[in-house]
Amino acid sequence: MSVSAAEPAHEPMAPEPWRIRQVRREVADGEVFTWTMEPLSGEAAVARPGQFNMLYLFGVGEVAISISALADDGTPVHTIRAVGSVTRAMQDLGPGDVVGLRGPFGSAWPVAAAEGRDLVLAAGGIGLAPLRPVVHAVLARREAFGRVLVCYGARSPRDLIFRDELEQWRANPDLDLRVTVDRGTADWKGDVGVVTQLIDRGGFDGRNAIAMVCGPEVMMRFSALSLHRRGIAPERIHVSMERSMRCALGFCGHCQIGPHFVCRDGPVFPYPAMEPAFRVNEL
């Protein structure tokens, strides 16, 4: 397969056919699953951490899915939660099935800007998926970064995704992984509480740190407050927004927040650009 620049390949509104190579169930009931795919054309644009693709299940519909890893050959890996009509139908697909893909789209996490600094990643729920490529990028050039703290919160132990990889990260002295759940179980020996409490416990130099946050908006809002309280300037806190993306090109306006098109200007924004929106109900 050959790869080209980070712009969407070919005509941006026309999905290219991609074949599912591998499906991995991330949680016991299979509600969250990861697809490794390959383009039938043999060509794909290289994505950057934080970007997303539009995945099209022919005859059903199209959804924006963030890129949860880049395979060794540069092809994007997608982690999907089955919650809507399209993603529920996607749950039934397996290796060999073909879907449409447009992308990659949107802004990326500022990984280069984190070099020489401490890095705090705060993920909630499936928000770990768009942050995972950042961890991979950091581990590939670990010496370029200061302390790396990964805070991950989920609803319960059974909802934790990328479990095998979490174990690898936990054993890796180059990373400080902290995991918490809202509700523990009898056999859960880890932390119970919200992800903001992991941030509050610190372990980083706020004056020289950069933060990347992805999860439900209420979690991102409180995480940003905690990060700021720990000394990280708001402009060094970055959030990834989720809205109903349709065209992914900034034309249709479905994902508009004030002057920003989340699909084109985001999904990754500096926190100050989104902070006013966090204060508006139902925006």
Partner 1 sequence: MNELMEMLKDRPFFEGLSEAHMKLLAACAALRSFEPDVCLFREHEPAEAFYLVRSGTVALESRLPGRGARTFATLGEGDMLGWSWLIPPYRWHYDARAITPVHTVHFDAAVLRDRMDHDPELGYALLKRFTGLIVERLQAARLQSLDIYGDADVGLGG
Residues forming contacts to partner 1 in the complex (CB under 8 A) are: 32, 52, 63-66, 79-84, 87, 124-127, 129-130, 153-155, 159, 180, 182-184, 186, 188-194, 196-197, 200-202, 214-216, 218-219, 222, 240, 242, 245, 267
Shortest gap between Cβ of 153 and partner 1 (angstroms)? 8
Phi, psi angles (nearest 5°) of residue 190: -90, -165
Measured from the CB atom, the residue of 8 and 127 that comes closer to partner 1 is 127
DSSP state of 215: S
**Smallest distance from the beta carbon of 143 to partner 1, in angstroms?**
27
The region that residue 205 occupies, defined by phi over 0 for left and psi between -120 and 50 for alpha, beta otherwise, is beta
Q: Are 67 and 133 in contact (CB under 8 A)?
A: yes
CB atoms within 10 A of CB 192: 14
CB 225 to partner 1: min, Å: 9
Q: Is 112 helix (H, G, I), strand (E, B) or coil?
A: helix
> Scanning the structure block, which residue is given the tokens 């059974």?
158
Q: What is the CB neighbour count within 10 angstroms for residue 221? A: 18
Q: Which is nearer to partner 1, 191 or 205 (CB)?
A: 191
Q: Which is nearer to partner 1, 16 or 26 (CB)?
A: 26
Q: Which is nearer to partner 1, 31 or 115 (CB)?
A: 31
Shortest reach from residue 101's CB to partner 1, in Å: 14
- 188 vs 233, which CB is nearer to partner 1? 188
Least distance (Å) between residue 34 CB and partner 1: 10
Q: Which of 61, 69, 58 is nearest to 87 (CA)?
A: 61
On whether 151 is known to bind a ligand per the annotation, the reply is no
Alpha carbon separation from 253 to 47, 93, 260, 265 (Å, rounded): 23, 30, 9, 12
Q: Rank residues 67 and 273 by Cβ distance to partner 1 and give the closer one.
A: 67
In sequence order, what are the residues at sequence separation of 6 or more whose Cβ sits closer than 8 angstroms to the Cβ of residue 200? 226, 229, 230
CB of 71 to partner 1, least distance (A): 18
Query: Which string of b and e fits 102-112 if b means at least 16 CB within 10 Å?
Result: bbbbbbbbbbe
Q: Which residues are annotated as a binding site?
A: 247, 252, 255, 263
Binding region for [2Fe-2S] cluster: 247, 252, 255, 263
